[in-house]
Amino acid sequence: MTNDVAIIGGGIVGLATAHALIEQQPDRRITVLDKERHWGAHQTGHNSGVIHSGLYYPPGSAKARFARAGGEAMYRFCTDHGIPVRRTGKVVVATSIDQLPRLAELQRRGTANGVQVSELDQIGLREREPHVRGVRALLVPDAGITDFAAVSERLAELLAERGVDLRPATELLGVRRDGSDLVLLTDRGEVRTRRAVNCAGLHSDAVAELAGTTPPARVLPFRGEYYETTSFSRDLVNALVYPVPDPAFPFLGVHLTRMIDGSLHVGPNAVPALSREGYRWGSISPSHLQRLATDPGLRVLAKKYWRTGATEIARSALKPLFLRAARTLLPDLRGHHLLRAEAGVRAQAVTPDGTLVDDFLVVEDENWVHVLNAPSPAATASLLIGKDIAARLRSRD
């Protein structure tokens, strides 16, 4: 049997794409395959769980367009399906006077993106977050928290109910053409399909290559490490507390996140991972190391960011340095409050000239849609990204 669409990757973006496709056309034959035994095993199951509001992104970017509306769609989905979700609001905190111009720029961006955002003085900040220190802050009431792994599990259940062929523990290993069809070669046999969507996250560039496409950017995995606080110290923070981000870097900085289960997470930092799924320093892939050493774009990147990179690596290795960074926001935090928690690895695309791709990146050809950069806020925006991919496929029918 030939499928209409096969989706490689059962993270939140792949599952949301299948969901949008089956909603659009219920009789479509769709397969979703993932190399892992359960859905959302990589980025989707290892993140902060924050529903972003669209504050940070350049007006007009896909991130800006999809984050705000995608966040609202995510709140609705969670509410409709009984998935725990809370619109907690968040504060972005300037800890020194020299950060105020960047805070003001964030407020301008947020307003341009249609995000509700207001200023808090020190008293206002203390009322919301009594233990957080800052000279001024922005309050974004529409940010919130959920569990994206639970969202993915629910999406998979809905897909199964609608007759979608779900194949966990099935890895794509190669692709062959047969007339106008694609034959996907997996470790569990062949899957025949007219179209395919690459939502393979940390492996999306490798999957594009299997499909015969030269990706315009390669994935550079950045590990994000977290500490969890002891249960006695979790009440130091009420909701979500972010620093003012460094505009030269696509990550948001170590933040304080009251997760949906009430735990308080501190992190994530951003250190280069030594393999695509390098959840620990000890997880090393020789082929990935060789790529790091020889890829010209990565060399440019290393030159540009060596100072930030060195600081992040030092903070990763030495807990007191991580603690010191977190204490600029939360002075009452102590070393004995912090316990190492599970890390996540971000799939960050880098172009051959060493530019970190800031926006979502999607590339299409006759048979394929390749999602080559879907970093944060892609979990927030996943339901809209899925609809966008479904619309792209529809326009080719």
Shortest Cβ 27–ligand FAD spacing (Å): 25
Q: What b/e string do you get for 304-337 counting C-beta neighbours within 10 Å, with b at 16 or more?
A: ebeeebeebeebbeeeebbbebbeebbeebeeeb
Q: Which of 5, 13, 55, 217 binds ligand FAD (CB under 6 A)?
A: 13
Is 41 a binder of ligand FAD (CB under 6 A)? yes
Q: Nearest-CB residue to ligand FAD?
A: 11
Query: Under a CB-based contact definition with an 8 Å cutoff, are residues 345 and 273 in contact?
Result: yes
First-to-last alpha carbon distance for the chain, in angstroms, is 19
Q: Which residues does residue 118 pair with via DSSP β-bridges, in sequence order? A: 139
Is 33 a binder of ligand FAD (CB under 6 A)? yes
Pattern 152-191, ligand FAD, x by CB under 6 A:
-------------------xx-------------------
Q: With respect to ligand FAD, which residue has the nearer C-beta, 165 or 171?
A: 171
Q: CB-hemisphere CA count at 13 Å for 201?
A: 30
Q: With respect to ligand FAD, which residue has the nearer C-beta, 33 or 260?
A: 33
Query: Using CA atoms in the order 354, 355, 361, 362, what is the torsion angle rounded to 10 degrees?
Result: -40
Q: Which residues does residue 137 pair with via DSSP β-bridges, in sequence order? A: 93, 120
What CA–CA distances, in Å, run from 392 to 196, 212, 377, 385? 12, 20, 21, 11
Q: With respect to ligand FAD, which residue has the nearer C-beta, 229 or 257?
A: 257
Shortest Cβ 215–ligand FAD spacing (Å): 14
Q: Which of 54, 243, 278, 344 binds ligand FAD (CB under 6 A)?
A: 344
Is 140 a binder of ligand FAD (CB under 6 A)? no
Is 55 a binder of ligand FAD (CB under 6 A)? no
Q: Which of 10, 110, 134, 243 binds ligand FAD (CB under 6 A)?
A: 10
Comparing CA positions, the residue from 26, 336, 327, 330 lying closest to residue 158 is 26
Which stretch in 38-46, 80-88, 232-240, 362-370 sits in contact with ligand FAD by CB under 6 A?
38-46
Pattern 201-240, ligand FAD, x by CB under 6 A:
xxx---x----------------x----------------
What is the DSSP-derived secondary structure letter of residue 92?
E
What is the total count of residues that contact ligand FAD (CB under 6 A)? Answer: 42
What are the residues whose beta carbons fall under 8 Å from the beta carbon of 250, sequence distance 6 or more?
Answer: 348, 356, 358, 375
Is 54 a binder of ligand FAD (CB under 6 A)? no
- Phi-psi label, residue 253: left if phi above 0, alpha if psi -120 to 50, beta otherwise: left
Shortest Cβ 167–ligand FAD spacing (Å): 9
Is 200 a binder of ligand FAD (CB under 6 A)? yes
What CA–CA distances, in Å, run from 175 to 13, 147, 195? 21, 34, 12
Is 386 a binder of ligand FAD (CB under 6 A)? no
Query: Under a CB-based contact definition with an 8 Å cutoff, are residues 376 and 252 in contact?
Result: yes
Residues engaged in binding ligand FAD (CB under 6 A): 8-14, 33-36, 40-44, 46-50, 52, 171-172, 199-203, 207, 224, 268, 344-346, 374-380
